[in-house]
Amino acid sequence: MAALALSLGLPLSVGTLHPPPAQIKDDPCRHRLSRVRLEHAPYSFSPPQSAWEDSPLVERQRLLWPLVRQISEDEGVDPLLVMALVQVESRFDPWAISEKGAAGLMQITPLTSLELGLDNPLHPEANLRAGIRYLADLRETFSDETLVLAAYNAGPRRVQEAGGVVPEIGQTKDFVIQVQALKGEFRQRFRAITRREPGKRANATQPPG
């Protein structure tokens, strides 16, 4: 169904691209997840629910872009990749919950939330910080962006079991293709991103329009 939707140009429903979770005892990234654990501190970004209800998709994207960019640059992750991933996972709906229980902007599963110390996956900033830190951690195991996305969707163990390639899971293949295609679209909507120099905050970047 996911492949058919993609071929017809139809949006995928939240949770469509999530295969069943792998057993965490065999997860090759599990030994490093303690480094990803979130600090329990007040969050600076907490828009009212009225800011999201019935808002056009582009407005939700504009609202989240500064935060996505800040956290992504802090973690050494491409913010355009994160924007594309959020688009595929939740269409920028912070209260999205899939049938399998994946929650929030980056559709983090209950098991991953537990490992990351994410106690409120429906909080926009908390969800982004956890998801982006998890992406950064996956990149230390899988240097290739395609494999990072595959591991995010199917689980690191499945990627390693497949021999370091995208697993033969239709949902995962669709997920990788769609995120990478959307990343290119987002790149066309943003000005060139100024990389942050050591010890300096990057200049503001034009939001998508």
81 within a domain of the structure (yes/no): yes
Looking at the chain, the number of H-run helices and the number of E-run strands are 8, 0
89 carries an active-site annotation: yes
Please report, for residues 10, 29, 69, 156, 200, the alpha-carbon distance to residue 140 in angstroms, rounded to integers and kept in the order given. Answer: 33, 9, 20, 11, 24
The per-residue pLDDT for 90 is 95
37 within a domain of the structure (yes/no): no
120 touches 46 (CB < 8 A): no
CATH code of the domain containing 87: 1.10.530.10
* pLDDT over threshold 70, residue 28: no
- Burial string for 132-164 (b: 16+ CB within 10 Å, else e) reads bbbbbbbbeebeebebbbbbbbbbbbbbbebee
CA atoms within 13 A on the CB side of 55: 19
Site of tokens 């899971």: 169
Q: 97: pLDDT confidence band, cut at 50, 70 and 90?
A: very high
33 within a domain of the structure (yes/no): no
20 within a domain of the structure (yes/no): no
**Alpha-carbon torsion 203, 69, 88, 162, what sign?**
positive
77 within a domain of the structure (yes/no): yes
What are the residue ranges of helices labelled H in the chain? 2-7, 57-75, 79-90, 110-116, 124-141, 145-154, 156-161, 170-189
Count: domains in the chain: 1
Mean per-residue pLDDT, 56-63: 88
* pLDDT over threshold 70, residue 107: yes
48 within a domain of the structure (yes/no): no
* pLDDT over threshold 90, residue 18: no
202 within a domain of the structure (yes/no): no
The per-residue pLDDT for 165 is 95
Distance from first CA to last CA of the chain, Å, rounded? Answer: 31
72 touches 125 (CB < 8 A): no
* Domain with 93 in it: 2-9+54-188
> What angle, rounded to 10 degrees, do the helices at 170-189 and 145-154 form?
130
The per-residue pLDDT for 52 is 54
206 within a domain of the structure (yes/no): no
Q: Which pTM value belongs to this model?
A: 0.72
Site of tokens 């995120």: 179
Please report, for residues 11, 36, 70, 88, 193, the alpha-carbon distance to residue 102 in angstroms, rounded to integers and kept in the order given. Answer: 18, 18, 24, 13, 30
The per-residue pLDDT for 171 is 95
Q: Annotated catalytic residue: which of 89, 161, 168, 185?
A: 89
Among 69-78, 110-119, 174-183, the least confident range: 110-119
